[in-house]
Amino acid sequence: MNFGKVAVLMGGRSAEREISLMSGNGVLRALRSKGVDAHAFDPAERDLYELRKDSFARCFIALHGRGGEDGTVQGALEVLRIPYTGSGVMGSAMAMDEWRTKMVWIASDLPTPRYRILEAGDKWGAVARELGLPLIVKPANEGSTLGLTKVTKAAQLPAAYEVAAGKFRDIALAEQFIDGPEYTASIVGDAPLPLIRIQAPQGNYDYQNKYFTEDTKYHCPSGLPKKKEQALQDLALRAFRLVGCAGWGRIDLMLDRKGRPWLLEVNTSPGMTGHSLVPMAAKAVGISYEDLCVTILAGAHVG
C-alpha cells in the first residue's frame, strides 16, 4: 500500500516528551524498514500547518500526553484534512480526562475504582475514611503514572495533592486502591490482543519502572483461564468504545483479590518503546513491531 509522504509526530511539549521521542523514533525506523516514506515531525519545533505545506499525506501520532493525546493535535489535523492514526477528537479528549472517563463508565455500569475530586481545603481524614487506605492520588489529565502517589496515611494526602494538582497544574483525583494484579488490554483495529500481566517491583509500576528499568516483569500469556481472559478483553473493548475511542489503544485494569475487574484508564496513543506493551502483545500473536506500525498507519483517518 502506498501511504505517500508520512509524518511521524513525536516529541511535543508535554511532560512525556522524552518517551514520545523514544516511541516516535522506533516507529520511524520501523516504517522506513517497510519502505514507507516516513519523516520525523516535532510539533514543539515546527508549526503543524507545515504538514500541508510540505505535502504530508498522513500522520502517525506518536505523541503522548497533553497537546498530543488530548484531541488538540487531532483537531488541527481535522482542519488540515490530513488523515491521522488513533482516536478522533472526542475520544482522545475524553480518554485523556480520567475523571470524565470514569463518569462515562459508571453511567454505563462498568466497574472502575471509587474516587473523589480533591480540593485544597478538604478534610484529609474524611477523604481517607471515605475511600479507605491505602489510596491513590493522581492528576486527572496526565499519563505514564506521572504525579501518582500511593498514600498509606491520611497525613500524606496534602503532599500527594500538591504533587498532582500543583506540580502538574491539574485536577487531583483520589482513587480507591485495588489490591491485586494489574493487566493491560491492547486494541488494534477492532480486535483486542492478548492480555499482559504486569509484575512491578513492590507493585510500584511508576514512570521509572515503566520505561527505564529491567525490573518489571511482563507475562504474556497472562496466565488467566481462557474464558476469564476473553471476558476481560470484551470488557476492555466495550470500555474503549464507550469513551469514543477507535483505531488503536490500550486499556489498563486490575483484578481484586476476589477476581473482580476494575477499569483504570484508557491510553489512546500508547508507548511504542522497547518496554511498551502494545508491541509486546502483538508479538505474542506473531505480529512484528514493523508490521504493527504499518497496520496502525493503514487505519489513519479524518473524521
Q: Which residues are catalytic?
A: 16, 144, 211, 250, 252, 265, 267, 271
Across the chain, the runs of DSSP E, i.e. the strands, are 5-9, 37-41, 58-61, 115-118, 135-139, 149-151, 172-176, 182-188, 191-192, 196-199, 217-219, 248-255, 261-267
Q: Which helix (H) or strand (E) holds 161?
A: helix 157-161
CA atoms within 13 A on the CB side of 119: 3
Q: Round to whole Å and give the CA distance between 62 and 12.
A: 10
Q: Which three three-digit cell numbers place residue 44?
A: 514543539
Numbers of helices and strands, H then E, in the chain = 11, 13
Angstrom CA distances, 295 to 3, 198, 298, 299, stand at 11, 25, 5, 7
Q: Round to whole Å and give the CA distance between 64 and 26.
A: 14
Single-letter amino acid code for the residue at 293: C
Q: Round to whole Å and give the CA distance between 224 and 222.
A: 6
Q: Which three three-digit cell numbers place residue 56?
A: 504530508
H, E, C per residue of 17-61: HHHHHHHHHHHHHHHHHCCCEEEEECCCCCCCCHHHHCCCCEEEE
